[in-house]
Structure 1
Amino acid sequence: MSVIASAPFSAKEIAAEGIKPEEYEDIVQRLGRHPNKAELGMFGVMWSEHCCYKNSRPLLKQFPTEGERILVGPGENAGVIDLGDGLQLAFKIESHNHPSAVEPFQGAATGVGGILRDIFTMGARPIALLNSLRFGSLDDAKTRRIFTGVVAGISHYGNCVGVPTVGGEVYFDPAYSGNPLVNVMALGLMETTEIVKSGAKGIGNPVLYVGSTTGRDGMGGASFASAELSDQSMDDRPAVQVGDPFLEKSLIEACLEAFKTGAVVAAQDMGAAGLTCSTSEMAAKGGVGIELDLDLIPARETGMVPYEYLLSESQERMLFVAHKGREQELIDIFKRWELQAVVAGTVIEESIVRILFKGEIAAEIPATALSDNTPIYHHELLAEPPEYARQAWEWSSDRLPTCNEKGIELESGFLTWNQALLKLLDAPPIASKRWVYRQYDHQVQNNTVLLPGGGDAAVVRVRPLANASSSAFVADPSLLNKGVAATVDCNARYVYLHPYEGAKAAVAEAARNLSCVGADPIAVTDNLNFGSPENPIGYWQLAEACRGLAEACTEFATPVTGGNVSLYNETLDSDGKPAPIYPTPVVGMVGLIPDLNRIAGQGWQAEGDVIYLLGLGIDTVSESVTLGASEYLATLHGTIAGKPPQIDFSLERNVQTACRDGIRQGWIKSAHDCAEGGFGIALAESCLSSQQGAEITFDAHPARWDQLLFAEGGARIIVSVGREQQADWEAYLQKHLNEDWQKIGQVAGRSLRISTSNHLWLIDATIAEMQAAWQNAIERRLES
């Protein structure tokens, strides 16, 4: 048989598949002929940025990827780390940005389904979900529709499949109008003796298609995810997949049961690019080939042609390589779970992907041409930062209106510091996210230790699974107290204004959040959301952010185990010009908690407890604590400018270590980092979490009182300690933190009261006042 032939394609047809003219010439040279329609489509999806990282791969090589706990790094469906005592954790983050822009509910729902498949494909049972979400202003009706649809889609899929959504972050900024970011992170506990890899092996071994049927939904989703959004993007609704969480629940159970038989050689989720991606990646990773017969693929629609089969991104599907002679054993398992399972192909010696259809060869392409040996583009980095950044860096607080201990004079009138605090608490990026997380089932599986909003990171118990392969738990019941913490973080405004410093800050805050609950940071998965790398400014942002991520991950000894790159996050404006999002490298980080009896939330615990600030002092004014790039500057002054805080890695590590040590010694009762909104907002959030007040007194005479209250910077954590532990705690601080700590007050009353030692009252806000501003800020905007 010979390959179904084709005449040369027109420039329009080539462009429709997302292929550049020079890439088409490369394809013709590699094949020694013109591709046919199916083959062109296969190259289109596999050579998209979403699948092959052709613009970002050189930058990703900077990332540290190895460590003593790293079992599986980049290149597989998910990273895997060793938690000790026979426990292994798989985790990964992925994006579903463009689909969520045009079909918010299904776009977000299938984003959850896809990341869960990455986890259980490794042989891990999913135990937790987190999400990192970005939307435009809630004043815009379109944003409100996208926001509510995305949250509904996440809650629908996660709740139905039975995996708790335990944490995340939600930001709102006009930069994301029309191009939301929906990043979903999943964690899973390994349930198989061996980690399941994706490289096909064994010439003659059967290739099994399992799960759901194949339809026309999700056609060309990978290419769709690698192009700017425009008014015509609504016509790309077929590129948005439709998910079935109940079927996925069956798929989880069937796959884990199948893996435990030992009959599965390799497994691959059919995510982006569907059958094309799964066949080519399995073949390339195994150094073999795969022959697949489309006539054997279970289809839900009639009249499908090879192009449609190969580019469909129908959900809840997997591809297995089985040991020859054991295929029926696997088929029986999937049939028992009422899922499709058929032998659809074979592992072959020649390293090609050969697709059969109606007795002919519909496509035949070298596997490495689709997976490994893909185009790579090296862009020239700007010789100096772009003008927008240089102008932003010239900003200083001298440009702000004068202020005193009572407040600040704005164009709209005088604002007291009480009023400033309440306005910040009402700002959607800072306000309560209760409206979001109350829709998620965060307690299913009964392993969630810290509920959403309770601490700076999610905490999940890693107790023994009923059918876990490890026997360590039986021998030592104390292992029931081990847990993992997870967080997703990124201040995109920081990254926009200074990509290098902003990216470092994202890693530092993720590590700080884990430390605040008592966890040792271990490893990172990242989701790089950027505009077009073909734009010099866009590439500069991407390159500088990757440099910052690499440096920070090295400094914190948190290797990168994998992740996702989502570029071309741009919306074409009315003039047809691309308007990119803020560069948003989301950092997903996991940490280990050796004893769940020693963790901390962010709320005060008892009247009279002593409050401390660890790290840079209240009245610090430096490159590490600044009003530049702050939420205060954006919300109250409408200004996006300044340099974001610079990270002092040495101090950051010392502060985080002190926090963890204090928690594990039983001294620290609560811990909360100073992030968006600075010192004042961090105190208010601890009050709101506990419904207890605080009296804060300090000796300071700052040049600017807003700098003291609302400046932002790393290496600052507010902790509370019981009076009976005060002496031991302060002795520890004097030894380990030298002068980098302050005793600032105590838990008391039903108000947040901040004053100087000479009785200058800056803030005196009741819990009720703060609650009224903060609690329903998002609901008020949705109802407007």
Structure 2
Amino acid sequence: MSALDTVAVATEDPNREQPWADLGLKADEYARIREILGRRPTSSELAMYSVMWSEHCSYKSSKVHLKQFSEIPQETPAGRMLAGIGENAGVIDIGQGYAVTFKVESHNHPSYVEPYQGAATGVGGIVRDILAMGARPVAVMDPLRFGPLDADDTHRVLPGIVAGVGGYGNCLGLPNIGGEAVFDPSYLGNPLVNALCVGVLRHEDLHLAKASGEGNQVVLYGAKTGGDGIGGVSVLASETFDATGPAKRPSVQVGDPFMEKLLIECTLELFQAGIVAGIQDLGGAGLSCATSELASAGDGGMHVDLDLVPLRDSTLAPEEILMSESQERMMAVVEPGDVEQFLAICAKWEVDATVVGEVTETGRLQVDWHGERVVDVPPRSVAHDGPTYQRAFARPDAQDALQADRAEALPRPVGGEELRATLLRLAGSPNLCDKSWITDQYDRYVRGNTVLAQPSDSGMVRVDEETGLGVSVATDCNGRFAALDPYAGAQLALAEAYRNVATGGATPLAISDCLNFGSPEDPGVMWQFAEACRGLKDGCLALGVPVTGGNVSLYNQTGETAILPTPVVAVLGVIDDVERRTPTGFPAAGERVVLLGETREELSGSEWAHVVHQHLGGTPPVVSLAHEQALATVLQTAVGLVSSAHDLSEGGLAQALVESTLRHGVGVSVSLDGDPFVALFSESAGRVVVTVPEADLDRLTALAAQHGVPTTELGTTGGGALVVDGQFDVDLELLRDTWTRTLPDALGA
């Protein structure tokens, strides 16, 4: 008998003990694999099923809830979807023959284990997803979540994660145009590293992941396959962290951004040559994913010889080659007559390329190693027909008490001095302070097409130099709102990202999402997840924006402590001419300051409650999606009329005034009606503060009235202080010092 566990051996030796549990499979899943194959799996087949049926790759706990996104029309008044859920990334028509592809994904658990490489390879993976659609990647973003700023583990993971995001993206020459950095105790031991990439393509350049055409050749190109990342994100992101760390710690992938840069340029030239029949990047689950997904989406048959796979480590077993998540690798399907040209283009870019197999008509994925067959499976059973769990979910018993504990009942500042002290305390708090310590490590303007970047409300890049056509992207989520009411919290995340895109003057077109939650085995967590999905679906239906795709990240918890439910929403919008955009920040003295939207006494889940009282309770602000649409229309119509715009979110009006004054060092004097505390620190949704020349004030108020958007005149820009009439004033230098020193003081300048 051969020492190699072949299909023949598996047939003759059906009762051999196999380490299915160690690979993350459940007993019923292992039994199902045996049923599919009519025998026990070989060790190589077991490796493939284990990674492809993992939570990270198969969405086995979440897909029953994700199905409802298909109820959202793919063609909306705003934009037409050219590719959607199920592809590497969604693709949206933006006019003039251009399309944009974008997606946000997670690399959370690997970034806890190895912060630099975990974050770096998260960027690399999402860039390859965009590349695989036929697009040139043009920008990245990074929504991040950390534990408390003063925690030792935050000081361990944050610098490495930021360096990894910046190091990889900078080496690729991709501008980082925005994101978030949020601190909360629930993320201690489980930071969230979500990475977004945007790519641009012409309609005719769209490519899909499928292997069709009997006799077409399967080419593996890019970096060699090594032992790094064996079972990496596929297993690591499908496991709860215990109090001392992950139960399993496969090696985290190691990134090489210079190889990825060559891979990008090589792939784009291959597309231009018209010699790619199908393509797939090798990310989570590596060769197991690429081969099974390409075959399953195509004619259904593929033969691969693992002896032909270029290796960095000659000692790797076939199981390890199939599970390795080594980075910077792609797989293409190429017609036989085009192989020579394909290999020549790869050689020009110094990218290794090897024919490792071919498309067959067998309907099976067959893999050989040392002349023996080690895999013979129906590819769809690996890639698409994994288990589906109807996880139990139930509203937690404690939810009523949580919502009854309203922050509106907490003690408030009284008088001007206390209001002033509260404003300064919040401005310097970790979630509201200046994030330049992070963003200065990113190149935001490389490639010369960045129009807006952090700290603007949204990132914006020019797509076409001649016409000025551009796209805008924003990512948002308030996990505290989602904890108080996950349905409303998801809609508030959607509304804020939608509003941030509109604030710059763009028209929101579509969303991608990254749904970060705790263990799906907890019915309370699954209730949060189900409610967030329902909220997103209803919100997208109301706003007329489709879900193009995204990512689910579960098991984000340490022991029994789950993270705040964090459904990050990315909204992409289009703008006809980036020259006609609205910037963030007061531009000059003598402008009138106007609040669009209505302020209500809504303090639960707010930064004020979080920072001052360490309180979480009550119900989040009410969200009106009809109002958000009307507000967006006003903001888009008012481009060229208003001189600046900034949305109100965390920290309320007070923080919006802080950031608007400090952007260009232009002070402001405002008068507030009613309770000044509520006016300053409420976090009511659907609000934007704008500036407008005195002569255009009536035009703005008439435009807002036409669309039913309330307006409140607040005051006038100018001077060297932030002044609230009758209450307090703060010198801008003191304000800037308070706002900017928090991260450098905590992390080192």
Q: TM-score, normalised by structure 1?
A: 0.92
Match of 1:514 among 501, 515, 527: 501
Give 1:779 shift.
1.1
Distance, in Å, in 1 between the alignment partners of 2:186 and 2:16 is 38
Is contact 1:192-1:259 (8 Å) kept?
A: no
Give 1:234 shift.
6.5
Which string of whole-angstrom CA distances, capped at 9 and with x for unpartnered residues, describes residues 656-675 of structure 1? 21122111xx1111111110
Match of 2:269 among 250, 257, 261: 257
Q: State whether structure 2 residue 88 is matched by structure 1 residue 77.
A: yes
Is contact 1:206-1:322 (8 Å) kept?
A: yes
Give 1:462 shift.
0.7
Is contact 1:46-1:370 (8 Å) kept?
A: yes
Is contact 1:495-1:502 (8 Å) kept?
A: yes
Q: State whether structure 2 residue 400 is matched by structure 1 residue 390.
A: yes
Q: State whether structure 2 residue 511 is matched by structure 1 residue 524.
A: yes
Give 1:252 shift.
0.4
Give 1:699 shift.
3.1
Give 1:133 shift.
0.2
Distance, in Å, in 2 between the alignment partners of 1:497 and 1:10 is 47
Letter in 1 for 2:678: Q
Distance, in Å, in 2 between the alignment partners of 1:398 and 1:314 is 51
Q: How does 1:35-74 map to 2 (within 5 A)?
A: 35-63=41-69, 64=72, 66-67=74-75, 68-74=79-85
Give 1:402 shift.
5.3
Is contact 1:418-1:765 (8 Å) kept?
A: yes
Give 1:403 shift.
4.4
Q: State whether structure 2 residue 521 is matched by structure 1 residue 534.
A: yes
Is contact 1:3-1:364 (8 Å) kept?
A: no
SS in 2 for 1:692: coil
Distance, in Å, in 1 between the alignment partners of 2:16 and 2:685 is 55
Give 1:545 shift.
0.5
Residues 723 and 354 of structure 1, relative CA distance in 2, 3 Å threshold: same
Q: Unmatched 5+ residue regions in structure 2?
A: 1-5
Q: State whether structure 2 residue 379 is matched by structure 1 residue 361.
A: no
Distance, in Å, in 1 between the alignment partners of 2:347 and 2:661 is 54
Match of 1:158 among 144, 153, 169: 169
Give 1:588 shift.
1.0
Corresponding residue of 2:291:
279
Corresponding residue of 1:685:
659
Distance, in Å, in 1 between the alignment partners of 2:407 and 2:570 is 32
Corresponding residue of 1:640:
616
Corresponding residue of 1:462:
463
Letter in 2 for 1:460: V
Give 1:381 shift.
3.1
Corresponding residue of 2:142:
131
Q: How does 1:13-28 map to 2 (within 5 A)?
A: 13-28=19-34
Give 1:638 shift.
1.4
Q: State whether structure 2 residue 233 is matched by structure 1 residue 207.
A: no
Distance, in Å, in 2 between the alignment partners of 1:558 and 1:769 is 42
Which string of whole-angstrom CA distances, capped at 9 and with x for unpartnered residues, describes residues 209-252 of structure 1? 11110011100020111111236657855431001000000000
Match of 1:505 among 492, 516, 531: 492
Give the RMSD, CA atoms, in angstroms.
1.6
Which string of whole-angstrom CA distances, capped at 9 and with x for unpartnered residues, describes residues 70-120 of structure 1? 111111111111110011111111111010001000000000100110011
Match of 2:199 among 188, 202, 207: 188
Is contact 1:4-1:363 (8 Å) kept?
A: no
Letter in 1 for 2:690: V
Corresponding residue of 1:550:
537
Corresponding residue of 1:92:
103
Distance, in Å, in 2 between the alignment partners of 1:210 and 1:237 is 28
Residues 98 and 373 of structure 1, relative CA distance in 2, 3 Å threshold: same
Which string of whole-angstrom CA distances, capped at 9 and with x for unpartnered residues, describes residues 529-554 of structure 1? 11111111110010001011111111
Match of 1:749 among 710, 713, 719: 719
Corresponding residue of 2:448:
446
Which string of whole-angstrom CA distances, capped at 9 and with x for unpartnered residues, describes residues 191-219 of structure 1? 57331100110011111111110011100
SS in 1 for 2:615: coil
Q: How does 1:289-688 map to 2 (within 5 A)?
A: 289-382=301-394, 385-397=395-407, 399-401=409-411, 403-406=413-416, 416-453=418-455, 455-463=456-464, 477=466, 479=467, 481-572=468-559, 578-617=560-599, 620-621=600-601, 626-663=602-639, 666-688=640-662
Distance, in Å, in 2 between the alignment partners of 1:782 and 1:568 is 28
SS in 1 for 2:21: helix
Which string of whole-angstrom CA distances, capped at 9 and with x for unpartnered residues, describes residues 160-197 of structure 1? 11111111111011100011000000001115733110
Quote the sequence identity (%): 42
Which string of whole-angstrom CA distances, capped at 9 and with x for unpartnered residues, describes residues 600-648 of structure 1? 122111211001010104xx33xxxx01111100101111111111201
Is contact 1:224-1:239 (8 Å) kept?
A: no
SS in 1 for 2:638: helix
Distance, in Å, in 2 between the alignment partners of 1:398 and 1:770 is 27
Q: TM-score, normalised by structure 2?
A: 0.96
Which string of whole-angstrom CA distances, capped at 9 and with x for unpartnered residues, describes residues 738-776 of structure 1? 6x1111111021111113xxxx32x31111111111112
Distance, in Å, in 1 between the alignment partners of 2:603 and 2:541 is 28
Letter in 2 for 1:753: V
Distance, in Å, in 2 between the alignment partners of 1:401 and 1:508 is 29
The count of residues paired between Structure 1 and Structure 2 equals 736
Is contact 2:469-2:575 (8 Å) kept?
A: yes
Letter in 1 for 2:88: N
SS in 2 for 1:250: helix
Is contact 2:648-2:656 (8 Å) kept?
A: yes
Distance, in Å, in 2 between the alignment partners of 1:425 and 1:2 is 64
Residues 779 and 557 of structure 1, relative CA distance in 2, 3 Å threshold: same
Letter in 2 for 1:337: W
Is contact 1:517-1:601 (8 Å) kept?
A: yes
Is contact 2:99-2:203 (8 Å) kept?
A: no
Distance, in Å, in 2 between the alignment partners of 1:521 and 1:180 is 29
